[in-house]
Chain A
Amino acid sequence: MFTVLLEKTVDGQRYIDWLVSGLGWTLALAFFGWWIAIAIGVVVGIGRTVQNPFFRALARLYVEIFRNIPVLVQMFLWYFVLPELLPTTMGDWIKQIPPPWGTFFPALWCLGLYTAARIAEQVRAGIEALPRGQDEAAAALGLSGYLTYRHIILPQALRLIVPSLTSEVMGIYKNTSVALTIGLMELTAQARQISDATFQTFAAFGAATLIYLALALIAYQTMMLIDKAVRIPGTAPGREAGGSDFDDVKLESSLPNGMEVVK
């Protein structure tokens, strides 16, 4: 049923080449967008947890804005609205960026910044999940705030959130399909183009679907491998790593002792 993909197109390629080209844009968007998202997400996530109320508010503002506007609307904002808001010369310069870059970069920014807001919330949750004792122990050793985040908090928080970041990885590459609305010929756009040219809707979108599914599987497996690779020795698989062991110890054994004293 997919034989249509091997047929020649009007421009002398085969339809499958269109799909491969679309896949390339999808991957580029997801890959580079992911690194933008991680970099900004970690910084904003830290900002959500610091003492300074100004940075906390700023981080909160970022998250609320980028997480709560539909990604499609954000796509339009970056592509259609931003050039109009900027000074005319700059706006014109942006509008004249040749395709496909003129649509690739707005899409990249859009997905990166949107996913960053979601990652920031994961990072914040990871940091807040750590036992208070970790902060206190670091402080008691004289570690500054920066050193504490750098060596104690972040390494543990990031390990803790690897499983939940899996869905963000899957999220960003699925959201790449939104870029078709501003004209980027990524996978879904190419599938539609094939469908329009051949009227083989099922084959075109079926192929795209299978590719998306394969990507999801790869992303999932990769994240599982990362999770396994960074697991702290001695912590059981499946359990949330980190300080939870200590809490158990404390709960199990301090209670009877405490009660002895009271009695």
Chain B
Amino acid sequence: MQQERTVSPADPFPMVVVEHLVKRFGSFNALSDVNLKVAKGEKIVLCGPSGSGKSTLIRCINHIEKHDSGRIVVDGTELTDRICDVNNVRSEVGMVFQSFNLFPHLSVLENCMLAPMKVRGLAESEAHQRSMALLRKVRIHDQANKYPAQLSGGQQQRVAIARALCMQPKIMLFDEPTSALDPEMVKEVLETIVELAQDGMTMVCVTHEMGFAREVADRVVFMDRGSIVEEGDPSTFFRAPNTERAKAFLNQIIH
């Protein structure tokens, strides 16, 4: 079966293991029996029509949504309802949201420094140093003392990426990171993510930017109606998708 063949090469310690995951919203099955393994250093692009469960899947991975059944293991820690497990996992998993979700009352620098200081217990000087280094990496260090509302959408999203990186996560989750951006700002954010990918960061990215998917993804996972329909390496997937649903989807987004 397609799914079996393309699961990444046997890795004794995958970064993320998702097994038989089920998530319901009321009577709606957002995810039904989803299985996914993400190896260390692997870059996965999740795509699919809206409502297919891709966002729900990555939101389950750091327990922003609680799953109803199945298992999620992140870097060896199984996500249960125990609050310390959840917070431990979350601090190892970086997440970037569609709508940035920066803290508007904190400066760019404070946005980055807060969690390292309060969750990791870093000294202020150390947190400052780390934040500035990562803001430089996303090329926004000259705006460090501004507030989110004073930045453009693209700049805000790059700050959000830096903020997530400040926790030195083992994996980064991107939930449609460019969907809320004006077209001219999409590129600067994608470039930042590409650089991150080149540094070897493990990532799962929900996106419809197919050019980006081709460039960075090791594997494209196509979801529809709450399950994984097809997965494969990007060149195969985009050239010759196996399933009708994937073909129909690609026809709609590639003109």
With a cutoff of 8 Å between Cβ atoms, the chain A residues found around residue B148 in the complex are 234, 245-246
7 sampled A-B residue pairs with Cβ under 8 A = A140-B164, A141-B164, A143-B115, A246-B101, A253-B181, A261-B49, A261-B50
Question: Among the listed B94, B101, B153, B160, which residue makes an inter-chain contact with A253, where contact means beta carbons less than 8 Å apart?
Answer: B153
Complex Cα spacing A247 to B101, Å: 10
With a cutoff of 8 Å between Cβ atoms, the chain B residues found around residue A181 in the complex are none
Give the A-binding residues of B (Cβ under 8 A): 49-50, 62-64, 83, 87-88, 90-91, 93-95, 97-105, 114-115, 118-119, 146-150, 153, 160, 163-164, 167, 179-182, 208, 252-253
Q: Judging by beta carbons under 8 Å apart, are B114 and A140 in contact?
A: no
Q: Judging by beta carbons under 8 Å apart, are A137 and B97 in contact?
A: yes
The number of chain A residues touching the other chain, given as a range, is: 35 or more
Complex Cα spacing A245 to B118, Å: 26
User: Do A147 and B118 contact each other (CB < 8 Å), given the known contacts A139-B90, A234-B146?
Assistant: yes
Q: Does A92 contact B (CB under 8 A)?
A: no
Give the B-binding residues of A (Cβ under 8 A): 131, 133-134, 136-144, 147, 151-152, 155-156, 159, 232-235, 241-243, 245-247, 249-250, 253-254, 257-258, 260-263
Measured between C-beta atoms, what is the minimum distance from B76 to chain A in Å?
A: 17
With a cutoff of 8 Å between Cβ atoms, the chain B residues found around residue A147 in the complex are 118-119
- Would you list the 7 A-B pairs with minimal beta carbon distance, nearest first? A142-B91, A234-B149, A137-B101, A234-B150, A133-B101, A140-B95, A141-B115
With a cutoff of 8 Å between Cβ atoms, the chain A residues found around residue B101 in the complex are 131, 133-134, 136-137, 246
Q: Judging by beta carbons under 8 Å apart, are A141 and B114 in contact?
A: yes
Q: Judging by beta carbons under 8 Å apart, are B149 and A258 in contact?
A: no
User: Do A141 and B99 contact each other (CB < 8 Å), given the known contacts A232-B104, A233-B149, A262-B50?
Assistant: no
With a cutoff of 8 Å between Cβ atoms, the chain B residues found around residue A232 in the complex are 104-105, 147, 149
Question: Among the listed B62, B103, B179, which residue makes an inter-chain contact with A140, where contact means beta carbons less than 8 Å apart?
Answer: B62
With a cutoff of 8 Å between Cβ atoms, the chain A residues found around residue B167 in the complex are 141-142
Complex Cα spacing A52 to B181, Å: 37
With a cutoff of 8 Å between Cβ atoms, the chain A residues found around residue B102 in the complex are 137, 246
Q: Judging by beta carbons under 8 Å apart, are B50 and A258 in contact?
A: yes
14 more A-B residue pairs beyond the given contacts A151-B118, A254-B98, A262-B50, with a C-beta to C-beta distance below 8 A: A133-B101, A139-B62, A140-B64, A140-B97, A141-B164, A144-B83, A152-B103, A232-B149, A234-B146, A235-B149, A242-B105, A257-B179, A258-B50, A260-B253
